[in-house]
A and B are shown apart, each in its own frame.
Chain A
C-alpha cells in the first residue's frame, strides 16, 4: 500500500438534497470509495436528511423541474404525475443495472463501514429525532463535529 500524502484516504460526503439522482450520486461515491479501500463518511443535512428519514426514504423522486438533463419542458415537468412517471422509469432502468433501492443501499453502505451522520441543526429544523432516522446511522453531529472526522492526511470533502 502506498503511503504518500497525496493518496485519497478518506472521502467525507455531504448530502444536502433528497432527489434520487443526488442521493444515488452520494451513495455511489461512498460505496465506490470503500470498494477501493478508501474510508467514507456521509453527512445528511437539510433535505438530504430525507434519504435517512424512515418515513421518506422509500418515496424519493427524481427532479423533473429545474433539471435540464431530463429534457422535459419546465412547465410539463410540473404537471401532476410527471415526477412519479420519471421516477418509476428511472427505477426500472436502475434495477436493470443491479442498482439497489435506497433502503438496501443504506444497508450495503452501513455493512461496508461507511459512517452515516445526521446533521444536528437540520434535524432540529425539521423536528426530527434520532428514532425517526434509519436504524444503523452512527449518530448526530454538528458540522464542526463532521469536520473533525476529516483530520489526518488524504481526507477530501464533497458537497452534493
Chain B
C-alpha cells in the first residue's frame, strides 16, 4: 500500500516496512524513527548504514551477525533501538523485516 512519509509517497507493507528500497531517503528514516520514538544519533546512523550495506550484499541479518559486526554490540544495539532492535532498525533503514529466528 501507499503511504505519505515526510512529504513523499512511498510503498509500504502492512507493518510499515518500505517495499522499495530505492524510495528510501534520510528524511523518511527520521520520520519512521520518530514514529518509533527514536531520535536518530550518529551511532544510530552507523548501524543503519551497516544494515543497508548488508542488505545490498544480500546477507540476511540475525542478532549473532550484529554481535560479530564490529559496528555495535548487543547491549548498545538494544539501547539504540529498545523495542525489537533488528526489526526497528531495519524498518528505519528501509529494508525488509528480518526473517531469521535468531
Contact = CB atoms under 8 A, between A and B. Distances in A.
Interface residues of A, number: 18
A3 to B, nearest CB: 13
Interface string B82-102: 111111100000000000111
A15 to B, nearest CB: 17
B73 to A, nearest CB: 7
Given A31-B102, A32-B101, A111-B73, A100 B84 contact: no
B64 interface: yes
A112 interface: yes
B83 A108 contact: no
A112 B84 contact: no
A70 interface: no
Contact of A37 (B63, B65, B73, B82): B82
A1 B87 CA distance: 14
A104 B88 CA distance: 24
Interface of A: 1, 28, 31-32, 34-37, 97-100, 104, 107-108, 111-113
